[in-house]
Amino acid sequence: MDDETVGIALVVISAVGFGTLGIFGVIAAEEELSIPTVLALRFALASVIIWPILWSRGRLQIPSRRIIAIAFALGAGGYATQSALYFFGLEFMTAGMVAIVLYTYPAFVVVLTAVVHPDRVTPPLVAALVLSIGGVALITGVDPAGVDPRGVVVVLGAACAYSFYILVSQRALTTVPAETLTAFVLPSAALSFLVFGAGTGSLTIPNTPTAWGAVLGIAILATVVPVLTFFAGIAKIGASRASVISTAEPGVTVGLGALVLGEPVSVVTVVGGTLVVASVLFIQREETV
């Protein structure tokens, strides 16, 4: 296969991998694993796997102390917050709904960027914001199946936290490769959940095959595999095209939620989700112009 086909396939694999996160998250919750336990194990195991892989490929660099400090702040702050709120949202909504609402994060990026650079606000970006808000409003207001207003607020918080993470990381990425930044973000996120879990007494050890399967699925299939395949895909088809293809992620979660967990999927859910994904495509298109 040519590089383009391979690149597209890699990004599709990445989208499918990330799309399984909510499914494994629901299973972990059913096994009564606490959020700090799940996420501490997720990021610790992912770090243990990703570091040797990047090192063996010569893709791991030791950045400056400043970049390391930024990476640890991003992991312990932005990425940890986003992940915690995402999993907390699963306690109120279906995995599919959580995935759709989380995908409003590009709209938050636009809003936060506009606060600093109002001149960058264009009609297509405004249209994207309207589509994103409209999609969530449609799902929440018209089709309450699988939707809890508390969950919507929590996951919108996750989207907002992720937008901060993206904006701050963009500055760091001007001097360090994305793989390297990720390699330092992951262990810092693991450490933050380990400390929080130990301090609150909420850390537990998975004690059933299903619980361990959920944890390993989250760490490997929903973290390591999609992270590595996304970076590999970017190298072949570029970040812009990879970002567009990755919009398949919420659709994957909705589909798997229905097939694996029996979650309800209605026409309104599909339409609302389509509006949210369309807003992402609008934003991606505008950023590449």
pLDDT digits (tens, 9 = 90+) for 118-130: 777 777 777 878 8
Judge whether 156 and 93 are in contact, CB under 8 Å.
no
pLDDT of residue 54: 92
What is the pLDDT of the chain when averaged over all its residues?
89
pLDDT of residue 74: 93
Average pLDDT value for residue range 257-277: 88
Query: Is residue 289 scored above 60 in pLDDT?
Result: no
pLDDT of residue 217: 98
First-to-last CA distance in the chain? 29
Average pLDDT value for residue range 183-211: 96
CA distance 49 to 187: 11
pLDDT of residue 241: 79
CA distance 103 to 100: 5
Structure tokens at 7: 């690149």
pLDDT of residue 141: 65
Judge whether 188 and 72 are in contact, CB under 8 Å.
yes
pLDDT of residue 256: 95
Query: Is residue 145 scored above 60 in pLDDT?
Result: no
Judge whether 46 and 186 are in contact, CB under 8 Å.
yes
CA distance 23 to 17: 11
pLDDT of residue 242: 83
The DSSP code for 219 is I
Residue 200's pLDDT band, with cuts at 50, 70 and 90, is: very high
Q: What is the pLDDT of residues 251-260, one digit of tens each?
A: 999 999 999 9
